[in-house]
Chains A and B, each alone.
Chain A
Amino acid sequence: MNINSEQLAELTRNVCQAMLGLDITPSPSPASSETQLTSKVCISGQWNRTIEVVASPEAARCLAATMFCMDPSEVAASEIEDAVSEVANMIGGNVKGILGGDCELSLPSIESQSSVTLETEPIAKATFDLDNGVLQVLLKHS
């Protein structure tokens, strides 16, 4: 069982729509080179996969403001990390459900990085415009 980019995009849209009421639009633009926030969750067991949610500062702030029902200018860094982590958790759980089999989902971890690392070519990738920023979801082997 594998997941393609269309499925990854669909379930990401579903998470943002159902949970946050956010309509996100697919974007062809690559992730920008500015500092981004990445949250990772790992699936291990019958399948070994990593899901990375990579958000530009604008996109991360928009997710947090929506989840915390706050003005984007008021959200704290910890709230931004928490919101992006929970989005990664939800997407990871849904990916795990599609993969099936006996697997565990890790807790989300957070890291700041200057750009998307491409040391591992993703299995699937979905990119969205979000509040003048970019939200990218990557599914990789781990």
Chain B
Amino acid sequence: MNALIVDDSRAMRRILRGIVTQLGFDVIEASNGAEGYDKLVANEDIELVLVDWNMPVMNGIELVKKVRSEPRYETLKMVMVTTETEPQQMARAIMAGVDEFVMKPFTSDILIDKFKLIGVRMPQSS
């Protein structure tokens, strides 16, 4: 089972990878929304997408809207992980179609609680 991490920061992808790997996911990474979309389409078994907001080429909101416009991705779990902290930004992300919103900085516990809240299916941890 795969998790797709879309963030322009390699350091942030490394941190997120560490957390979701512990949950048993295999990780696919992308550095912007356009690359994230291509990887989503190219990989069948993606259960969870973690997406940053501020990225070059295609930002996270654009990616979420594009993905949600396709019926086949209606039930895909998408969590926005971002430095955007204002309630109105959170509302924009929810409107675009994210299931949950995590503000940077976050702890691994906060992230995992959000996964549970939205019913992310966890792979068998090894």
Interface residues of A (CB under 8 A from B): 14-15, 17-19, 64, 67-69, 78-79, 82-83, 85-86, 89-90, 92-94, 96-97, 100, 105, 107
Query: 4 additional contacts, CB 8 Å, given A96-B83, A97-B85?
Result: A19-B104, A79-B11, A89-B9, A97-B84
Give B33 Cβ to nearest chain A Cβ, in Å.
13
The A interface is mostly helix, strand or loop, or mixed, namely: helix
Q: Are A18 and B107 in touch, CB under 8 angstroms? A: yes
On whether the beta carbons of B83 and A69 are closer than 8 Å, the reply is no
| Contact (Cβ within 8 A) A18 B106 | yes
Min Cβ gap B54→A in Å is 6
Count contacts between A and B, CB distance < 8 Å.
65
Q: Assess the B85–A19 pair: CB atoms within 8 A.
A: no
In angstroms, Cα B84 to Cα A35, docked, is 31
- Contact: A105 with B9, CB < 8 Å? no
Q: Across the interface, which residues of B come within 8 angstroms of A82, CB to CB?
A: 9-11
Return 17 A-B CB contacts under 8 Å, by A number: A15-B105, A18-B107, A64-B11, A67-B14, A67-B15, A83-B11, A89-B9, A89-B83, A89-B104, A90-B104, A93-B82, A93-B104, A94-B85, A96-B86, A97-B85, A107-B54, A107-B56
